[in-house]
Amino acid sequence: MERPQLSSWQFFLLTISHLIGSAFFYIPSTLVGTSKQISWILPLIAGAFTIIIACLWLHLASQYPKHSLIQICLKVGGKYVGCFFALLYIWYCLQITSWVTRDIGNFAKMTLLPHTPITMFHIMFLLIICYASIKGIDTIARTNELLLPIVIITLFILFLLTIPDWKWERFEPLLPFDWNASVKNTSNLMAFPFFESFTLMIIIPYVKNKAKKNFLLGMGCYTLLLSMVTFFIIGTLGVVRSSHAIYPLYTIMQEIQISPLIEHLESTISMILLTTIFVKISITYYCCVLGICQLFQLKDRTWVSIPLILLVSGIAMAFEDIVEDVDWYNKYAFANGALYGIILPLILLAVSGIRKFSNRQKENIAK
Amino acid sequence: MRVKKMIVVIIVCCLTYCLSGCWDMVEINQLAIINMTGIDFDPKTKKLKVYYHIINPKGITAKPGVDRAPFYSFHVEGSNTSQIISKANNVIGRNLFPDHYQAIVVTDRFAKAGIKNTINFHERQVERRSFIHLFVTESPLEKIMKTYMTLDKLEGTALRALAENQAKEFGTVSKFSRMKDIAENMETSATTFLPIVGIQDSNQPNAKRYEEINANLGNLVLTGGAIMKKDQMIGRLGLSDMKSTLILRGENERFYNTLHSNGKMMDIQSINTKVNKKLTIEDGTPIWKVNLYTELRILDNNLDEPLTLQNQNKVKERYKKFLIKQLIAIYEKGKKQNWDLFDLEATLQRSQGKEWKNMHKKDSWKKIKLDLEVNCKFIDVGEIIDPYKGKGS
């Protein structure tokens, strides 16, 4: 198998894109719905907590340099337990890929092409993703290097166009707010999308230098971006309408009116969503394929990538509709995310520590 | 290698058949493009009557005439939305296409009963237009929906232009009378003002207006503003009250006033109006401090004396007093009628702290006193500084 090399800048952009995915499109509505005017603060809190937890992940990675997450699992857990752990992480990648694929399906069906079967979006999208994953992470990284700046600049221009609708009164009153709901929101936010970035540990060995710094920096930048998007949504759309809309950002773009002739700019935001989701799914799909290849020591990714399309598009249909998706997110997102983002890394760290300690003991006895 | 490329090209060509055009194909000839919708609710039968203005593309390009009407008005009656949509399709015979509609008109009795369902239905639609203006009519809806406008061929487009022009230039229509504004205020105590339209000088629906030179006859005209609290109409204001309300709310940057003095008059246009509002509490009494600044243009000067710095200052003082009197009058009228025209209840709710604790009751906003200060300066006196004196001098 080839050994690609990612520059620190590419990895920084990949981290941001992986986190952006579909989250900045879906999350603000849920946040504003319960935490009202203070909801823009929650991403900052969730981001800060996750950065602390990410230090744990990076500590684990630093103990096994040049090893991917799957290889770390095998090294720490041994043949059987390690294999089980690795399978869990491959499943996690598969889960994320399927959910995000479903997100794009839901969005496209609801807003762009209501009569087209949702599976058609999934399969068409996954075919391109499959092609990207066969080409490798360096191709995905280069594509992302080109697309992400365009996405950010377009988003910024669109924000500027909505300034006439801005009202500061929409941020009042700041208090009182529902503490319980805010804590729950923050924890869910940590799970989706922050904990999902743990899957990037599969590609971290391919980063030439400053991987840790750029990973944390990427997280920090995304945290600020999500907070800014939520802040912007409150200021432009208001708490009431944002909390009722499924896609508040889409609604805002729909209502841009530069003149009676230039209005309805929602297709621009649809393109942004398609781009960010493409990069996110490409990364997780690639991680999934690479994980399987590393676990079963396969050399050619192609024959893993192609059948995975059917598996992903099948799992993507697990939720009946968006209501079930939102319900699952509210009830189980944190528990699911914490398993892969906190519990398993802690177990791996603990076992690794015990192994190192016992090895040292053995060495001492041998001396 | 060549064979491999050929296979890829063939696969890509085959995949194009899976593209969305197969399912979401739209034929323009199969669409009933809606330009305007009218909704009435009959409290006796509990039925909705919905009118659609469906654009006739041939009529838009042709010269106006009865056989080439720019739009046709269809109406259907039903108890709920699904009934109305299915009945509409029975009558129209094409798929309703709401993406390009320009205005919605509801009757005052429907607005008084509450338009929550309409707003929810509208907000649910992905292809909706939330920046279109919502109008209320006191005239029979049938007449409104069966009238042609003169200069604009489409009534919806004409009404939208009317509302936007009024909001921008004359301040008798709130620029926040769009669908999205009323949706935003649905769960707060904020007030929305919707323009009221009626038919001028006509008792009959008038579809032959192109043949009538008197454009006023049967024309749609703005008659006032409907006060909406959440989704319900709670009262109405005349055009001059609407103007004053919007000035004090800070939504009206341009407006006209006439000053009278010793039988002479001066027309003044206010432009670039800025309003600073602050709610404070002094000795347990809430005070709403409003500082209004406006720039003045003399439109018509019929005073018998040349404009000097001295009498210009006099005019300025008189104008300030006049404006203060006008604005205090509407403020008191709102209180008297129990209309929270200036969203004071919401402002009170937002005020946090010990001193505001007793002010969060429902009617506490009525205790608020208005402290109004007006500042203005002349920026345009026109081409003549000394008006001509004629016979009447």
pLDDT, tens only, A21-77: 888 888 888 888 888 888 999 999 999 999 999 999 999 999 998 899 999 999 998
In a domain, B268, yes or no: yes
Check CB contact under 8 Å for B18 and A123. yes
Judgement on whether residues B315 and B224 belong to the same structural domain of the protein: no
Check CB contact under 8 Å for A116 and B188. no
In a domain, A243, yes or no: yes
pLDDT, chain A, mean: 90
In a domain, B3, yes or no: no
Domain count for chain B: 2
In a domain, B309, yes or no: yes
Picking from B183, B208, B237, the residue at the C-terminal end of a domain is B237
Picking from B237, B272, B293, the residue at the C-terminal end of a domain is B237
Nearest CA in chain A to B23: A116
In a domain, B277, yes or no: yes
Domain residue limits at A76: 8-357
Split at pLDDT 50, 70, 90, the class of A233 is very high
pLDDT for A341: 93
Judgement on whether residues B231 and B291 belong to the same structural domain of the protein: no
The number of C-beta contacts closer than 8 angstroms across A and B is: 54
Q: Report CA torsion sign: A24, A30, A31, A36.
A: positive
- Mean pLDDT value across residues B175-191: 90
pLDDT for B195: 95
Split at pLDDT 50, 70, 90, the class of A260 is low
Judgement on whether residues B104 and B232 belong to the same structural domain of the protein: yes
User: What is the Cα–Cα distance from B40 to B107, expressed in whole angstroms?
Assistant: 5
pLDDT of B252-294, one tens digit each?
889 998 888 777 788 999 999 999 999 998 888 899 999 999 9
Check CB contact under 8 Å for A173 and B352. yes
Check CB contact under 8 Å for A175 and B164. no
pLDDT of A279-337, one tens digit each?
999 999 999 999 999 999 998 889 999 999 999 999 999 988 888 888 888 899 999 99
Residue A1: pLDDT over 70: no
Check CB contact under 8 Å for B130 and A251. yes
Nearest CA in chain B to A165: B176
> CATH no. for residue B364?
3.30.300.210
In a domain, B242, yes or no: no
In a domain, B95, yes or no: yes
User: Which residue, among A36, A107, A111, A116, would best test binding to B if mutated, counting the most B CBs under 10 Å from its CB?
Assistant: A116
Residue B121: pLDDT over 90: no
In a domain, A365, yes or no: no
- Mean pLDDT value across residues B146-153: 80
Q: How many percent of chain A have pLDDT more than 70?
A: 98
Domain count for chain A: 1
> CATH no. for residue A327?
1.20.1740.10
Check CB contact under 8 Å for A115 and B24. yes
For A240, the closest of B18, B126, B184 (CB atoms) is: B184
The alpha carbon torsion through A153, A31, A51, A180 (nearest 10 deg) reads 170
pLDDT for B346: 86
- What distances in angstroms separate CA B81 from CA A293, B67, B77, one per listed residue? 55, 32, 10
pLDDT of B361-375, one tens digit each?
778 888 999 999 999
Q: Which residues, in sequence order, are bridge partners of residue B225?
A: B195, B237
Cβ-based contacts of B352 with chain A (< 8 Å):
173, 175
Question: Is the minimum CB–CB distance between A111 and chain B shorter than 8 Å?
Answer: yes
Picking from B186, B202, B237, the residue at the C-terminal end of a domain is B237
Q: Which residue has the higher pLDDT, B232 or B201?
A: B232
Task: Look up residue A146 and give its amino acid.
Answer: L
β-sheet with B255-261: strand ranges across: B255-261, B264-282, B285-301, B369-380
pLDDT for A176: 67
In a domain, A85, yes or no: yes
Above 0.85 for ipTM, yes or no?
Answer: no
In a domain, B189, yes or no: yes
User: What is the Cα–Cα distance from B95 to B88, expressed in whole angstroms?
Assistant: 9
Task: Look up residue B180 and give its amino acid.
Answer: K
Judgement on whether residues B199 and B292 belong to the same structural domain of the protein: no
Closest-CA distance, B223 to chain A, in angstroms, reads 24
The alpha carbon torsion through B359, B365, B371, B373 (nearest 10 deg) reads 130
Check CB contact under 8 Å for B123 and A117. no
Split at pLDDT 50, 70, 90, the class of A135 is very high
Residue A19: pLDDT over 80: yes
pLDDT for B73: 87
Within chain B, residue ranges assigned H as helices are 2-16, 21-24, 57-61, 81-92, 108-113, 116-124, 141-145, 155-165, 179-184, 239-249, 309-337, 344-350
Judgement on whether residues B321 and B203 belong to the same structural domain of the protein: no
Nearest CA in chain A to B277: A169
Domain residue limits at B296: 253-393
pLDDT of A106-129, one tens digit each?
998 888 888 888 998 899 899 999
In a domain, B49, yes or no: yes
In a domain, A362, yes or no: no
In a domain, A2, yes or no: no
Judgement on whether residues B162 and B265 belong to the same structural domain of the protein: no
pLDDT of A191-206, one tens digit each?
989 999 999 999 999 9
pLDDT for B349: 83
Question: Is the minimum CB–CB distance between A244 and chain B shorter than 8 Å?
Answer: yes
In a domain, A366, yes or no: no
Judgement on whether residues B265 and B209 belong to the same structural domain of the protein: no
pLDDT of B13-55, one tens digit each?
877 766 656 778 878 888 889 989 999 998 888 899 999 999 8
In a domain, A75, yes or no: yes
pLDDT for B20: 57
User: What is the Cα–Cα distance from A68 to B173, expressed in whole angstroms?
Assistant: 64
Residue B393: pLDDT over 60: no
In a domain, A235, yes or no: yes
Closest-CA distance, B346 to chain A, in angstroms, reads 10
Judgement on whether residues B271 and B156 belong to the same structural domain of the protein: no
Residue B348: pLDDT over 80: yes
End-to-end CA distance of chain A: 40
Question: Is the minimum CB–CB distance between A323 and chain B shorter than 8 Å?
Answer: no
Judgement on whether residues B217 and B273 belong to the same structural domain of the protein: no
Split at pLDDT 50, 70, 90, the class of B381 is confident
Nearest CA in chain A to B100: A264
